[in-house]
Structure formats: C-alpha cells, structure tokens
Amino acid sequence: MVWPDASVHWLETYGHATRGADGRTVRMAGMIKDVTQRKREETARLKAETQLARVFDASPDYILISRAKDGLVLAVNPAFERVMGYRSSEIVGCTVDDLKLWAEPGERERLLADLEAAGGELQSRRVVLCTRAGATFTGKLSASLFEHEGERLIAGVVHDIRETRRLERRASESEHRFGLVFATSPDPIAIARESDGVLLEVNQAWRTLTLCENVVGRSDLESGLWAQPAARAELLRRLRSEGVVKNVAQRLRRADGTEFDALISAVYVELDAERCILWNWRDVSEQRSLQRAQEEANARYRTLFESSLDGILVVTTQRAFVDANPAACAMTGYSREELTAMHPSQLFSPSELAARPLRDLSQDWSFVERALVRKDGSIVPVEILGGPLPGGKVVAILRDVTQRKRAEALMRQANESLEQLVRSRTSELEAANRDLESYSYSVSHDLRQPLNAIAGFAELLHLQAAGISDAAIQESIAEIEANAARMESMIDSLMELARTARGAIRRREVDLRELVDGVLRDLSSGAAHGAEVIVGELPVASGDPVLLQQVWANLIGNALKYSRGVPAPRVEISARRQGDGVECEVRDNGVGFDMKHAERLFGAFQRLPTAAAFAGSGVGLAIVERIVRRHGGRISAESAPGRGAVFRFTLPDKDLA
C-alpha cells in the first residue's frame, strides 16, 4: 500500500468471516500487520545471495563448500570444475576423500584442526591438490568454518599460484637479464631518483667513461657530469612532458675535466614504489670527430670544386650530369641547371662521337683529348681526366688547352723552320768539309813533288860537299835534309788526318783485347820501349776495327813516348762497360801536361810545351778525336806536369748484336 507520504509498505492480513444461515458472510474480524521491514530484509538477503552466487560463479579462484564432519562436497564453482576436471554433478554429494582431492594424506583432518585452533579462519595456507587426470598443482587456500542450518560447513577458496610462480620466474629472469645488460652494456647506464637526482646504481661503463668511482648516493649534478646544467633541466622538463627522451645530443664532463659528446636517452622506472629515472648515454665523440672531419673534407672539396680553374663535371653511371662547377659552366657556356638536364654526348659533335665513342669511366681512370662543343657552337680543345668516385658516380676534369695548342703549333712551325735551317747549314758545312778535305789531300799530294826535289838536291849537295871541311856548310846541308824529312812527316800526317774523315765506318763487333795486343806487338817490334805495360779488362765493343786500331796505336804510342824519360815508366790500359757503351782508358806516369793547355790537345799540329823535347807532328791526338767522334763517342784527358796523363774515350753500342 501507498502511505499518504507516498512511501510503499507491505501489509500482512489475518481475518475470520462469520456467515449467516444462508451461508453469506455477515461479519469480518481480523488483523493487519505491517511487514515492510521484513520484506526489505528478505529482498536484501535475496539480493546478497544473488550477488554472492554471481561472485561464486565468476570467481577465477577455485571455491569448494564441504561438510566439516565428513568432507561431503556441497557446492563447487565453475573455476573449480575447470581446473579439477569434474562437472558439478559428478563431484557434489561425494566426499573429498572419495575424490582424492588432497595430494597429501590426512590433509583434511589437519585443515579442520587448524581451523578450529585458529577460531574458524585460515589465510593463504599452502596446499597441494590432485586433478581428475592425476596431475597435481600447488595453491594457496583461504578457509572459513561456519554453521548453516545446524551443520558446520567449510568454505575454501584456492588461489592457483602456478601463474604467480610463472610470473615470478619471468620477473626474476627479466630482472636477471636486466642485471646482465646493465652490468655488461658498453654504454653507460645509471638509475637516479627523480626527486633529488641521487644516483642509486651505475654500471662499469658509466664509471669508465666518467672516471668517477664513488658516485652512488650522490646527485648527478654533484658529480659534475653536466657540462651545461641547464641542459639537464631541459631534459627533465621534456621527460616529464613526454615520458621518454631519446638520443639527445649533450656535452658531458669527466672527473678529470675533459669533455665529450654523448647521446642521452631517459625513461621513468618504478623502484620500490618510487619513481626513478633510467639514464642511458652513448659516447659519440669519435663519431662526431669523424663527422666534423667529413664535414671539413666536404667543405674543402666544395671550395676546391667551386674555385678550380679546371672544369669539373660529376656524372652518374647512367651518364647524367648531377653537378658542375663555375669553370665548367664558363667553359661550356651552359648554366649548372642546363648542364644537369643534359647528356654528356651533347657536349661533343656527332662525327667525333662516331669516331671516338665516350669511354666508360666507372671502373678506371682515363686521360683523353676531345673537341668540346660550346653552347654557342664554337669548338674548344680540352683535356679530360676522368675516373670513378665513391657512391657509383664518375668525375670528369676538363682543362681548356687552346693556348697550349696554339703554342704547340707555333713551336712546330719554329722547329720545322729550325730543322730546315739546320739541314741547310749542315749541308753547306758538309760541302765545305768535303772541299777542305779534298783541298788538304790535294795540297798534301802536290807538296810532295817539290819536297822530293828539295830532298833530292839536298842529298846531291851533301855528296858534292863531302870533301869540304867547312862546318857551317855541312850544318846547313844537314838542316835542309832534316826540315825536308820533317816536312814529309807532316804531309804524311795531314794525309792520314784527311783519310780519317773520308769513307764510311764499317761497324762490327770488335774484340778490344785482340786489338790492343796487336798494337803492342807492332810497337815492340820497332824498338824496345822499356816500360811496364798493364792490360786490364777489355770487353767487346762496336766500331770499325781499322780506325779503332789507329786510336789505340796513337794513344798507347803517346803514353810510351812521354813516359820514356821517367825512372820506372808504366802504362795501364783498361776498359769497362758503362751504360749503353764502353769507356776505354790509357794511363801513364810520364811528363804530363798543364790542364790550362787542354783545349789545344786535339787540334791538328798543336804541340804542348812539354812535348817539345819529343818527336812528333802534333796530329796524332787530332786523328784520335776525329775517329772517336765519328763513332759517336767522346774523348777527354786529365793530367798535371810530372804526374802522367789519363786519356778516356767512349764507344757507344750501335748495331751491336
């Protein structure tokens, strides 16, 4: 019923009806009782039972209600059914002993005794239960002893700790792995409280990098790690805002004051219900140094690239320009943008490309000359040095050689003119030499007739004056005869000198030892020279054997002649291979000569002061010099008065097999 105050009440009525003779009710007597409170209690109890049933059915823990006196199972929840392998209908009405739920004998009795001793309540008791399949598992049992409808019952809730143990093992393994990573990481790692920055733990890499040892328990600011403390404050601000910071570049400071570059990462971690910061740093000093070096190298390259007087073009392997310096733009007449849109073949004429296709420069360096076609159509001769670059590109360096080509053309013209002039002068000189040699030969030949006449008449005069005792006349006749003989010797020498310049040289392989031995035999057969002659190594040479015999005869003869007056005359003869030829040497210990007269040595009829006391015409060394020169060699001399002389001459290897 609804009361006047709009509240709802439950009423319970009791009544008795009085009926008349006709069976009709004539009077009612009864009582009305307000049972609203009872109804409310019943509703609350029903609601509580419903909620309890829901909790019972939905609980992930395993719930069993049994009778205390015999262990008869009165109810189990679905979780108990799942883990034990029984349906409710199979287990309710059976005892726990019948089902063999306890893995340890006598456990039910011990549990009841412990419950009674504990006042009917037990918490987190370790138990081992057996499933229908015979498997066992360990759980934590919470039990309550209570009475219901005059009977003592036990309500037990088993919490399966297998998952807890698995999670604990995983947590332990995870903690162990973290410990290993923390200890062995090459990167510095530290854990600090957020509230005050006190370091709780640091790894060995942190100590090695910072050179700090006793830092646990001190603030990271106190350790002087931050080169810029304001940077730390900014990192903390970002960490609070974003929850994590990664690879932030910072400058840090070691305990010895040196600074280094680092990348810093940080994240929040909970330790013992306190928020902490896990810092992770990486020393990138070497990488930054390499990066700075690379940047400097790139800057130097770019400076050289932009300022080079030679044109520089960078080409891909697909032969497309990707860069060009100002010199290349000026050389071609195209802008950088225009060049990067062109193919390299567009810089050369089709005819030249047909004759000389572009080379592949991606493998090896190459040097070529090309005719470059400028944007205005003009032709520029260029030298191109090209080769591979790192990254698969190719560089081509172009140098304008227009001025050099012009200079080379002028040089060729000058050389041709000079060669023509040399040929002309050489021809004139050769003709003059031939005329002079012919003239010398003719003069020498023509002088013999009057000289022979003078000698003949001098001999007749000598015979006719044989009986004349006038000494002056006899001396004059002797003087005429001596000068005639000297004149004849000079004519012979002049003719010999002329002969050395005439005729072709008949080159062949010459055994110098055999040649020298023959000369020594000839010189010894005339008169004993009395000198010690030492002949050293004499290799094979190239030359005319007749002319070379004359050279050796003149040089050895002079050496013997000019050393004749010394106490122990000695002549040394040797030769050795030197470069592409043979160097020969004749050395004596004779009178020698002053080197200031050396320029006169090889002139015809030139006699040095020290030679005045010795017979000779002064033509022998001139003949030697001419023969050596005709063989393509050189002759030289060294001497000093009273210390002998050394003559050296070379014979190049020409046509020597």
pLDDT value for 216? 86
pLDDT band with cut points at 50, 70 and 90 for residue 656: very low
Whether 47 and 72 map to the same domain: the answer is no
pLDDT digits (tens, 9 = 90+) for 185-231: 888 889 989 888 888 888 888 888 888 888 888 887 877 888 888 88
pLDDT digits (tens, 9 = 90+) for 580-610: 899 999 999 988 888 776 776 776 555 555 5
Whether 179 and 272 map to the same domain: the answer is yes
Other Cβ atoms closer than 10 A to 356: 13
Tokens 């105050």 identify what position? Answer: 5
End-to-end CA distance of the chain: 149
- Token pair of 80 as six digits: 């108990």
Whether 270 and 177 map to the same domain: the answer is yes
Q: Which of 160, 188, 206 is the last residue of a domain?
A: 160
Q: How far apart are CA 382 and CA 352, in angstroms?
A: 13
Contact 372, 381 (CB under 8 A): yes
Whether 644 and 517 map to the same domain: the answer is yes
Percent pLDDT > 70 in the chain is: 86
Whether 209 and 263 map to the same domain: the answer is yes
Whether 210 and 271 map to the same domain: the answer is yes
Q: Which residues of 485-512 are buried (b: 16+ CB within 10 A; e: fewer)?
A: eebbebbebbbbbbebbeeeeeeeebeb
Residue 525 has pLDDT above 80, yes or no: no
Domain that holds residue 607: 505-652
Whether 573 and 457 map to the same domain: the answer is no
The answer to whether position 489 is within a domain reads no
Q: Which residues are CB-neighbours of 413 under 8 A, at least 6 positions away? A: none
Amino acid type, 481: E
Q: Which of 125, 141, 160 is the last residue of a domain?
A: 160
List residues bridging with 267 in a β-sheet.
Answer: 244, 278
The answer to whether position 497 is within a domain reads no
List residues bridging with 432 in a β-sheet.
Answer: none
Residue 329 has pLDDT above 80, yes or no: yes
**Sign of the torsion formed by the C-alpha atoms of 193, 198, 200 and 206:** positive
Mean pLDDT of the chain: 82
Whether 156 and 170 map to the same domain: the answer is no
pTM here?
Answer: 0.37
Whether 517 and 640 map to the same domain: the answer is yes
Residue 143 has pLDDT above 60, yes or no: yes
- Token pair of 602 as six digits: 């090889």
Contact 399, 383 (CB under 8 A): yes
As a whole number, mean pLDDT of residues 172-197 equals: 83
Coil/strand/helix, residue 153? strand
Residue 428 has pLDDT above 70, yes or no: yes
Contact 30, 15 (CB under 8 A): yes
Q: How far apart are CA 12 and CA 33, in angstroms?
A: 5
pLDDT digits (tens, 9 = 90+) for 68-82: 999 898 888 888 888
Question: How many structural domains comprise the chain?
Answer: 6
As a whole number, mean pLDDT of residues 500-523 equals: 83
DSSP state of 131: -
Whether 37 and 123 map to the same domain: the answer is no
pLDDT digits (tens, 9 = 90+) for 355-401: 777 777 777 888 888 889 999 999 999 998 888 888 778 888 999 99
Q: Which residues are CB-neighbours of 480 under 8 A, at least 6 positions away? A: 454, 458, 461
Whether 381 and 396 map to the same domain: the answer is yes
CATH code, 88:
3.30.450.20
Residue 464 has pLDDT above 80, yes or no: no
What are the helix and strand counts (H, E) for the chain? 17, 24
Whether 392 and 416 map to the same domain: the answer is no
CATH code, 593:
3.30.565.10
